Structures are given as structure tokens and as C-alpha cells.
Amino acid sequence: MDIIPAAVETFAERYTSPETDLLRRLNRETYLKVDQPHMLSGHLQGQFLSLVSHMLQPQRILELGTYTGYSAICLAQGLKEGGILHTIDINEEREDMCLRYFEEAGLSEKIRMHIGKAADIINGLDEVFDLVFIDADKAGYERYYDQVWDKIRPGGFVLADNVLFHGETLEEPSKQSNNARAMISFCEKVAADGRAEQLLLTLRDGLLIIRKIG
């Protein structure tokens, strides 16, 4: 399902700051060489992530789901001096590509990439995060949310991607995939959490913005 009409996307891109040359090349290489390139954050969402990071000026960011590194680069752009972004991905085959672009972006000292299961790695990170971006396996969102919550500073943010899951969340339950049902369950969990306030932003494939209250 096309959630956002193509004409609207084109208009939005026209009046959004353009991709850098590096991000444009990363975008192109992903579509040429990597499976499921639609998983890339892309121009509009990437610029949104960059602006959020610049607004928050975080010291510590956690990203769950690196893919080819596009979103990590965008998020790392707003880090404070000495800030670090931890990014976790289960697929080691894309690690070299990610590290190559991180280095070219001048972010090798700011981005620490971890390969393995996010649920295992999160518990080993002794950090307090200002911002967490969840863009990993959909069935794991609720678990990741629970795992990271106590590691987020009061007033910190969680961004959860793909909560509309290609529009399947709008379908009748009998037509929804397991991933779509997982997204609905996750959104309901957050909505019922009195420790948080949230906004479901209809950007790209749905982005849930969550703020830790207190």
C-alpha cells in the first residue's frame, strides 16, 4: 500500500535540504548491491533524523538496526563534542560497507558498530542514552523498548520506525502480517505506558516519537 502519494513525496523532497553527495552514493550503492533496499531510511527520513539529532544535541545515541549505515550517519551529525552513537546489527556481511562510509563521513570516532543480537548487546551497554532509534526486527520492538527504557535519561526520546508497516496496520486483522500485528501491539503498549508521551508521525512508513516523562 502506498501510504503517502508519490506526488506528495516528490513535493516534500523538493523543499527538503538535499542529500549530501556521500549519502546519495550510499543510497545508490544500497539499491544496487544490497537485498531489500527499501529498508534504507532515505532522503526525507534521513534529514528528519539529522534535524532531531541537531535539536537534541545528544551525548549518547543508540540505534537498533544499522542496515547500510544511512540513518547512523544522519543521527551522528548532531552529536555533541565527544558524543558516541552505538549501532547494532545482526548482519555481519554489511559491516565493511558501513564502516567504509562512516570513515568517509568522518564519523569513525563517533560511531561504534556492534554485530550480534540486539537483545544480548543492549544489556552489556553501560550508557545513559539521550536518543534511541529502533529499526530492527518488528517482533522484537516491545522487548527492545523494555530493555532500553531504564537506560534513557528523563526527557530522552525513542524513535520507532515502520509502525505503519507498509500500510498493513490499516488493513483488516485477517489481512495483516505478523509484523503488522507486532507493530500494532507495540503502539498499544506505548500508548498505555504512563511513563511516556508519544506522537505517531506519518512520515515514510510511520515513525513513533516517544518521550520519557520525568
For 110-120, the pLDDT digits (tens) are 999 999 999 99
Question: Up-side HSE of residue 145: CA atoms within 13 Å toward CB?
Answer: 27
User: Residue 185 belongs to what domain range?
Assistant: 6-212
Q: Pairing mode, if any, of strands 60-64 and 84-89?
A: parallel
175/24 Cα distance (integer angstroms): 36
pLDDT confidence band for 156 (50 / 70 / 90) = very high
Which pLDDT tens digit goes with each residue over 61-76?
A: 999 999 999 999 999 9
The count of domains in the chain is: 1
Domain contains 166: yes
Residue 1: per-residue pLDDT:
58
Residue 4: per-residue pLDDT:
87
Domain contains 1: no
Domain contains 157: yes
pTM of the predicted model, to two decimals? 0.96
Question: What CATH number does residue 144 fall under?
Answer: 3.40.50.150
Residue 212's SS3 state is strand
